[in-house]
Every structure is written in structure tokens, then in C-alpha cells.
Structure 1
Amino acid sequence: MSLPFRKMNGLGNDFVVLDARAKPLAISEAQARAIADRKTGIGCDQLIVLERSPVADVRMRIWNAEGGEVPSCGNASRCIADLVFDEKQAEIATIETKGGMLTAKKAGTHLVTIDQGKPKFGWKDIPLSEAFPDTRHIELQIGPIDKPLLHSPSVVNVGNPHCIFWVDDLDVVDFAKVGPMIENHPMFPERANISLAKVVARDHVLLKVWERGAGLTQACGTAACATMAAGHRIKIIDAKCKITLPGGDLLMAVNEDNGHILMTGPAALDFEGTLPEGLL
């Protein structure tokens, strides 16, 4: 069976998008890994499958490169919203995900604002493996006990679990080595996305992300949302903030009326093709 695909990206965080709205498509972890493989497959950080939704314009399912299905992907949400804008000739799109319902608005040519919803700060909602009544900072450190390199991260769930370490230097640790260790720390029963965040001004943060199931990434939309939510909560970030990732900038905001996190950034279509035989 030949199956068309789109290759898309948001700030370099790239996706293979399959459309299963006309005919259902079952995806196994092995198939997701095969498509995501950059040597033998198409290559991507996440595989996205579009399905019909009874409550939204489209349902979006997400598999990370390692093959596991995850609830949310902020950069992919912008890409899918941009597709829906073109299909509907509209400036508003709704997307159903396992992480919740999303509303997107057109913010310019291939520029999208996503309402990521209200962040969850309760330790059971993140989730954590032990109780922390205050998740603005939790007891977790990396490095020597008397002088840890990383410590006291903020934790939050914005569709995915996130752990943010506030640092003065984004290169304080070898993130490629430390990232997977923290992702799989017993504190996070569902694993977590790990971020290093450097606040350079109240309206500007530099961010480096180790994404659960994908590794070091050019950009992670939900990590930017998590950083915005956590930083505003502990009063080190203003209600509007630019977050700079290796792939570029996202413009973030907190709707102070309802606590929702708003993310504005680009969406790009790289190319279209047909999956080679054997990948599905």
C-alpha cells in the first residue's frame, strides 16, 4: 500500500505527517520507529497521524522517534493547525489530542498561535512518584551533594510532564549524557521532558531541551509552554516572553484571566512524498 506523507517542521523540530481521516491507520511502535529512523526511514522527531474527530476539526496522534505514543506536541500542533487553516480557508482551527483540546489562531503567513490550555502543577497530575505539596521547586539534584550542577527544578504538566532546571549556563552539564538520566529518573513514573532554562531578562529566556523519547531537539513547543508557566508562577518571567531555542524563537504569553498558556511560532511544510514499501 502506497501512503502519501508530508514532512513538516516547527523551528527545526520535524515531523512525518500521515492522513488517516479517509481510511483508519494502525501504527505500531516498531512502525513509528522505522518511519522516524533518519538512516533507513523518512526521519523525524515525531510521527503524526491525523484522524477524524467528533469534537474538533481534526484529531492528532503523536509518536516519538523511539516509538512510544505521547499526548502532546506543541510544534506539531502549529503545523497541523496551519494545514487545517488551508483546508478550511479559515483562521481558527481546533485540534483534539490525548493531552487535551487545543484552539489555534492564524497569526500571519505560516505563523500560528496555539492555546495550550491551563498547566497542571499538582504532583499527582505531573505525575511524580512522591508527594510534593509545592512543585515550584522539588528536591532533585545532579552532581556533587555539596555543590550540585543542577538542582531544585520546577515541574509542570502541559500535556506532557516537564522538569525545568533554572541555570546561569546552558552548558553547565553534558546534556546529551545527563538528559536521558533525568528523563528516566524514578521521580518521573511516566518519564519527563527535561529543560535547562537561562533567564536573560524578564521577557527573554534561552532554552535547551532533552525531549522524552526523542532526545536533544532543535525546539520543543510544550517545553516552551512549561517554562513559561513555571517561570511566571515563580515570578521570574513576565506575562509575555520570548523563548529562544536552538531552532529559533517562540513568543509566549500567559492569559492572566484564565491561566492558559499561549504559544506563537512558525509552521513549515518541507516536502511531500510516498512512504516506501516496508515502512508500514
Structure 2
Amino acid sequence: MNFYKMQGAGNDFVFIEDFNNEIEDECLLAKKLCDRHFGIGADGLVIVRKSEIANAKMVIINADGSRANMCGNAIRCFGKYVYEHNIANGDRFSVETGDGVKDIEIILANEKVRYVRVYMGKPSYDGRDIPLNNMESIIKTDITVDDKTYNMTTVLLGVPHTIIFENDKEYDVILDGSKIEKIDLFREGSNVNFVKIIDETHIKVDTWERGAGATLACGTGCSASVVVAKKLGLVHKDKEIFVKAPGGELVIEVLGDDVFMKGPAEVVFEGKLSL
């Protein structure tokens, strides 16, 4: 079986095709391939399949074998993969995900893929959507975890994301993120983003991803951080926001309730799997 290793802003994935649905245990396969010592090493496994409602279907499984409905960096890599492998015609096409169908736009420079722009959907603060236990929403709410209090906002944008602004406090993405991810409020866990406001059009985001841990970038996390920052009036309400993650920069645009993400995607290497 052929594979491709791809990365978007440092968030890395193993890509394989499974057009005939031949993989028997994809979660076990993800754990094996994503292991950085005994496998290829990645934050997640991405499976390329046929779709009856879009040009292609993206299945993503975290490094720990858990499933994810959506991943922003993965879908940018997926868009580049679909375009360069002629799975879809043209520079605009659709991708089926666990969070619905996403529209993709390929932005070229000198006939090569420079950026991939993705429609990320609409955010929801409704506790039923996130989903939350025994709370209607979490917006600028003080939550105490192990005797430490965090002011947090949680939003669903493909997957649940909890946003914590740290301009006045410093947090440890691993220690604090791992604790917050699994608190009882979150029925299915939550990704955790620690955000610093740089100016009205620039922010910095460090993300703890459920199922993957601290990553170099999280596309849905960067998008969710901008959505919340705009809602709370911390950045310019009408302009694109440039988001600096440890692995690179993404550009997030919010038009009404619609969220768009733009950023790079690269092939790292390719090879053959021995299963």
C-alpha cells in the first residue's frame, strides 16, 4: 500500500487511499502508522475514499486511534492531495467529512499549489452541539480544575474547542491542556487553545488536541480562536486575522456566521507500507 506523509503548518498526517473500503481496522492502523518510533509518525491518519455526495471523502483518525469529525490542517492537505492526484477536476471542489461537506479552493502560484482555502462552517456555542454536560453554554466562564481557575469559552467548529486567553496569565499547553480536555463538563472531551492577542489583526495560538496532544498547529483550533476573539471584541470584527501557531501561520476570515481558513499544505515524503 502506498502512503504519503503531508503536513500543514507542522500538523502532520499519513495519507492512504482506500477507494474499495478494504481496510478492516482503521483505528488500529492509525495507532500503528502514527507511532513516531515504530511507525511512520504523525498526528493522525487520513484515509481518502469515494463519496456519493462530494468529490471525495476524508476520514481522519487521531494518533491514539480515536476518530475526529474534522481537522483544518488535514483538510488543507487533503485538498492538495485531491487536486494533485486528479481526484477532482478544477481548483474548486467539495470534500465530505464527519462535519458535513466542505468547499475547497486551490490557490496557485506558478502553476503549483500555494495555499488551500477551506470553508470551515458555522460555529455553535450551544451546549447540546458541543456537547456539554449540565450547561447550556460556556462563554467567558470561570471553571476550576485541580484548584486552578480558567476563564474559558467553548465553541463547536467541526470539533469542540475551548479557548483561554493568556495575555494576563501564562499557561502550560501540556499540563493545563491535558487537564482541561477531559473534565466532566465535556461529554466527548475538548481541544484546548491558549491564545495571546498581539494586535487587532494578529493572534498567537498554542493548541492541545484531544487524541493527539500538543501539536504544532490546529486549523480548527486557530479558526475557533479567531471566532471567539471576534465575538468578545478582542480583534478587528471585519478584517482577516493572521494566526501564528508554533508550526506556521494561518489566515482566518469570518463573513457573517461563515468561517474560512487559508494556509499552506506540503508533501513531506512518500513510500510503501509493509503491513
User: 2:229 maps to what in 1?
Assistant: 231
* 1:53 aligned counterpart, secondary structure: coil
Residue in 1 that maps onto 2:125: 121
Quote how far apart the aligned CAs of 1:101 are. Answer: 1.2
Hey, what's the Cα distance between the residues in 1 that align with 2:58 and 2:39? 21
Q: d(CA) in 1 for partners of 2:24 and 2:118?
A: 27
Show the counterpart of 1:25.
Answer: 23
Comparing 19-28 with 155-164, greater Cα deviation is found at: 19-28
State the Cα distance separating 1:143 from its structure 2 match: 6.5
Q: 2:171 touches 2:194 (CA, 8 Å); kept in 1? A: no
Match of 2:224, SS?
Answer: helix
Q: Spell out, residue by residue over 1:169-213, the C-alpha distance to the aligned partner (whole angstroms, 9 max, x if none).
A: 68x233222211111111111001001000111111100000010
Secondary structure at the aligned position of 1:110 is classed as strand
Matched, 1:141 2:147: no
Amino acid at match of 2:38: T
Which ranges of structure 1 fall in alignment gaps of 5 or more residues?
none
1:1-280 paired onto structure 2 within 5 Å: 3-86=1-84, 87=86, 88-108=88-108, 109-133=113-137, 135-142=138-145, 144=147, 148=149, 151-168=150-167, 172-238=170-236, 239=238, 240-256=240-256, 259-277=257-275
Query: Helix, strand or coil for the counterpart of 2:179?
Result: helix
Q: Deviations over 1:100-148 (max 9, x none)?
A: 2110111233311100011111111111112235x33233135756xx4
Q: Distance in 1 between matches of 2:228 and 2:171?
A: 22
Checking the alignment, whether the CA contact within 8 Å between 1:24 and 1:51 is kept in structure 2 is: no
TM-score between both structures, scaled by the size of structure 2: 0.92
Answer 1 or 2: which has greater strand percent.
2
Structure-2 separation of matches of 1:200 and 1:27? 44
SS in 2 for 1:34: helix
CA–CA separation in structure 1 for the residues paired with 2:271 and 2:264? 22
Determine helix, strand or coil for the equivalent of 1:130. Answer: coil
* TM-superposed deviation, 1:218: 0.4
Q: Is the 8 A contact 2:44 2:63 kept in 1?
A: yes
Deviation digits for residues 61-112 of structure 1 (CA, Å, limit 9, x no counterpart): 1110011111011001001111222214511121101112110111233311
C-alpha contact 2:8 2:76 (8 A) present in aligned 1: yes
Rounded Cα–Cα distance in structure 1 between residues aligned with 2:147 and 2:119: 40
CA distance in 2, matches of 1:128, 1:193: 13
Report the residue type matching 1:99 in the other structure. Answer: D
Q: Out of 155-164 and 107-116, give the one that drifted further.
A: 107-116
Aligned CA distance change for structure 1 residues 220 and 169 (closer, same or farther; 3 Å): farther
* Deviating 4+ runs (over 6 angstroms): none
Mapped partners of 1:241, 1:142: distance in 2: 31
Which region of structure 1 is more displaced relative to structure 2, 30-39 or 83-92?
Answer: 83-92
**Alignment partners' CA distance in 2, 1:99 and 1:25:** 22
Amino acid paired to 1:105: E
Counterpart residue type for residue 242 of structure 1: F
The RMSD of aligned alpha carbons is 1.6
